[in-house]
Chains A and B, each alone.
Chain A
Amino acid sequence: MMDKCSWSGFERGVKLVITFVFSHVGLCAFVAGYSVAGAFLFRELEQKYVEAHYEPLQHRTAYLQDFFNITERAGQELSSQDWREIFNSSRWREEVMDRLAEFEAQLVTAVSNQLYDQGPDKQREKWNVIGSLFYCVTVITTIGYGHVSPRTWVGKMMTIVYAIIGIPLMLLCLSNIGDSMATSFRFVYRRVCCVCCCRGQQDQDDPGSSSTLQTPNGSAEPVSPAPYTPPPRYKPSRRNMLISPPISATIHRGSDNPFEPSSLTEPSNSSSKTSTPRYPRPSHTHLTLPDAEANRIVAECAAYTNTSVPGLVINSLVGSNNDCHDYDMVTPNSLLSPTMTTPHTPDMSAPSSPLSQDSPSEWMVRKENGCPHIVIEHDNELPPSNYSTRTGSPVLTASTHHASCTSLAASCPWPRQDSSPFNGGLVPYGSEADDSCVRIRERPPHSPGKTLVVYNTLSGDALLEQSKVARKMALMNKGGFSQFRGDATTVFTDPISGQAVNGDMLGLSYRPIPPDTSDADNRVPIPIVLAFVASYIGVGSLLFGWLEDWSLLDAGYFCFITLSTIGFGDFVPGKSLGYETQEAQIKLVTGSLYLIFGLAVLAMSFNLVQEEVVIKCKAFALWIGLMKE
């Protein structure tokens, strides 16, 4: 028993560390810290050792001596005659011209090889903190302008070591940022499209979403948990939503769903739906899970949140729950049986506030196209009087998903649990998780909505493990143990108000393994992405054209060469000012910010375009007969 405890504690610690390191914030902070550390390191190295290793340009004195020798020799050879006549001859000119040309060639080589930089003082000025930081950024992004490069062998060795560690780190960070940016870009694109295409529908729905909440119906809400099954006539619409393959398309804010909270007590007619919307619309979240095991996870999670979801109804249409494992808390068949209230977990249900019990919700599991879809519907409960209008609305979460994996987060808003103490109303708070772990955290119940985010990229086995971990975490977190950290791996936004969702939310997220079941019409067309990148380069060329007095073509050329990580170094921000003035340093900072953000934009656009290009190429290959099936 002791062994087990220490094992799980150790595991939890390791997972905490790993999760934080690989979360976006952790990774970005690590890269930033790495760059700054590198900046100080290279500054130290180059400033300290540049004197010893610097070979000052001695050519000029040497050639000066040469000229004198030529002149003197000519004078000595013909000392008897008037030396002016001799110098008038073309021989002196030719010799001096040759020497000068040699000198010039050496000079050109020295300058173009960056070996000449006006002496150690100049070199030291180049390696100030900002300059070194810019150098480090250009190294780990593999741009490598070469406007400054290490002169000392220590610096060279350190550059190699620094690059070996830094380049993979930067790649990881960029791909992470690109993923989340791609997700948000897709989301924004979809919203924009929605606004453009279904404006009429939106207008119809508008009063529902903009109306202030009116409390009087609170008494109408069932105080005791009441299992509720929606009227059958609404099912087709839900099924339509289920069929639509893309992930974000399956996140509905309920505005296009006729189902309304008022129908909790009475099946509503259509007139009451549109005329007197008094509650926020219910939110629907559809999860795609690979097999029956996943369903059990949902059920288990539901069991954890039972405290605040007392009226949980699981409506199951899945018939394939055949393999059940021994450690399941509740057997799946019983859990997922139609309209069965999930059992309360006694030790968790105790402190829940009465208000939260007013919230009926419905979990539906359906099987379509071979994989079950789980519909979680949380009908909007009655908000308390101190509850402002917008925060009580159904919140949805958009979470990260990219080409091959999608994740969903379902959320349901809950009334404010002001009556409960800090750790009284146990709210399992969905937390960030890396691909192999789940943590549930408790948050102070000051905000509506609950989310439990379960990430998974592994098979059903892993999912089971995750559920076990989740259960452990839930039990551990029960006793007032609170962790609070910004969730970095998921992007929570309220699609209606555009605000970040700030609340305890219940949700599930899952990344399906087959990539082509995701994002069918969620893809962003290639021209839009290209236009986005082009506009980024255009903005950059305007910026640098204004900042550096380059011509527009030069500035655009600089942006392109930078963002493609070619990095010739013929144009570098601040180069004309010699890197040591404050203005040059501002330019350097601007430049490094531009290039880091630009690389993230590029990663995002690659992410967006990749799938599309692959599909197009496949279609072309199929059409032309290169590929069968």
Chain B
Amino acid sequence: MAIERGRGSRHSHQSHAPHYHYVKPFGEKLKDCCRSTIAFIFSNVGVCGLMVGYTIMGAFLFSAIESQNDVVITADVIRNQTIEQLWNITVMYNVLDKPNWRANVSHIMLTYQRAIIKLVDEGWDGGNTTLPNKWSIEGGFLYSLTVITTIGYGHISPNTDTGKMMTILYTVFGMPVFLLYMANMGDILAKSLKWTYAKLCICRRPEHKYDPSVVWRSAEATLRAPAGPSNFHPEYPQELGEEISIDTTSWSAGRADKVDVSSVNIPITVSLVIMVALLYGGTLLFEKYEGWDPLTSFYFCFISLTTIGFGDYVPGLSVHPTGDDEKGMSFIYCSLYLMFGLALLSMCFNLMQEEVVHKITACLNAIRFFKRRETD
């Protein structure tokens, strides 16, 4: 609501500003500047820009902080040691002495594997030539996004103290930005959905009596009429039904003239369908670009969109035959999907909440009405 007003006054300010420009003292000018900046930031475009800009800033920041990694040298050392040991064994035994050779090499491999696992547990992310650097710009982007959306896959996490401190600071400022983005985008999406729904479903058939939202609305309106129970002829439920239908027609006829977008109620089923479609779309997307099986993709989408974020599956981390470009692209796909999906989800929740509250109120009113008549 405040945002709406803010945008409105921004336009008015822009139109009036030139007239008073030369009169204004410095403080006033500063105030005006602040006002226009804040008004822009709180506008829809501004919020989206802020969100994306903040995330990109985080991407550069974290990739700059975390990309120097000295653990790689340790891994290289371990690998070279292993090679030396293998060579020694090969020299020591004859090639044809298969069982002995195998036993020894197997032991060395096991030691090597344990060393590598220990390294990874300590935070080494394989950042050498064989694996793409996880703290690339794309990786940093996905990391920043998972931080401020509180998904937190944990597929990469900061190893340096600076990185940890910066993560905390980044989250403190980033979470409100993201919440603002969610609210704003959810609002826009809800409005456009309501508009579309009104155009598609209500205007096309204004005489439709059994649209649940219409019936509930009119029932509530009737029951809430200021004249109260005395207007009703009691003890005939059928009559109530008649009144509702009469009301409905008049109400929808009135609606057809002027589509009041904010008063359209989207049925819960529509919201549910949108959510399922969002999950299904994500499933198809990740199935195609990551090569996961459908269940895994669905599981990943769900865990991501609920912001649980286990991190057992993260796009762009599977060993691909393709090159680094593809991996960067899958980071981008994932980020876009998350940003859009979370906004859509918040929209669905808003709509559902609205509808549920609406229905419960209507229900309560109906019960109250019947009970009152019963008492009378």
Contact = CB atoms under 8 A, between A and B. Distances in A.
B225 interface: no
Contacts of B371: 7, 465
Contacts of B152: 143-144, 561, 565-569
A72 B79 CA distance: 22
A473 to B, nearest CB: 15
A75 interface: yes
**How many B residues touch the partner, as a band?**
35 or more
Contacts of A566: 146-147, 150-152, 171, 309
Most buried by B among A72, A87, A569, A628: A569
Contact of A109 (B79, B319, B376): B319
B70 interface: no
B91 A84 contact: yes
Interface string B95-108: 10010011001100
Contacts of B280: none
Contacts, number: 211
Given A112-B126, A564-B150, A153 B317 contact: no
Contact of A60 (B109, B120, B312): B109
Given A112-B125, A561-B152, A144 B165 contact: no
B152 to A, nearest CB: 3
Contact of A144 (B6, B98, B131, B303): B303
Contacts of B299: 156, 159-160
Nearest to B39: A626
A108 B126 contact: yes
A331 interface: no
A546 B106 CA distance: 40
A520 interface: no
Interface stretch (B30-38, B202-210, B245-253, B325-333): B30-38
Interface in B107-138: 109-110, 112-113, 116-117, 120-121, 123-126, 129-131
Contact of B375 (A96, A97, A327): A327
B120 A568 contact: no
Contacts of A71: 90, 95, 101
A557 interface: yes
Interface in A81-98: 83-84, 87, 92-93, 96-97
B110 A60 contact: yes
Contacts of A468: 375
Contact of B317 (A68, A84, A109, A326): A109
Interface stretch (B80-88, B256-264, B334-342): B80-88
A163 B130 contact: no
B117 A64 contact: no
Contacts of B155: 112-113
Interface string B8-52: 011001000000000000000001001100110000000000000
Given A64-B109, A163-B306, A113 B313 contact: yes
B167 interface: yes
A146 B83 contact: no
B113 A107 contact: yes
A157 B117 CA distance: 29
B307 interface: yes
Interface in A452-485: 458, 461-462, 465, 468
Contacts of B161: 553
B374 A101 contact: no
Nearest to B295: A153
Nearest to B3: A626
A142 B304 CA distance: 10
Interface of B: 2, 5-6, 9-10, 13, 31, 34-35, 38-39, 75, 79, 82-83, 86-87, 90-91, 95, 98, 101-102, 105-106, 109-110, 112-113, 116-117, 120-121, 123-126, 129-131, 146-147, 150-155, 157, 161, 164-165, 167-168, 171, 175, 295-296, 298-299, 302-303, 306-314, 317-319, 364, 368, 371, 374-376
16 contacts: A4-B374, A64-B109, A68-B102, A92-B87, A100-B79, A112-B317, A113-B318, A142-B309, A163-B302, A326-B376, A553-B164, A564-B171, A566-B146, A625-B13, A626-B10, A626-B38
Given A84-B91, A93-B87, A167-B306, 20 more contacts: A60-B106, A60-B113, A64-B109, A71-B90, A107-B117, A112-B125, A113-B155, A138-B308, A156-B299, A160-B298, A163-B306, A554-B164, A561-B152, A570-B154, A570-B157, A621-B2, A624-B34, A624-B35, A626-B39, A628-B9
Interface of A: 3-4, 7, 60, 63-64, 67-68, 71-72, 75, 83-84, 87, 92-93, 96-97, 100-109, 111-116, 138-139, 142-146, 149, 153, 156-157, 159-160, 163, 167, 326-327, 436, 458, 461-462, 465, 468, 553-554, 556-557, 560-561, 564-570, 617-618, 621, 624-628
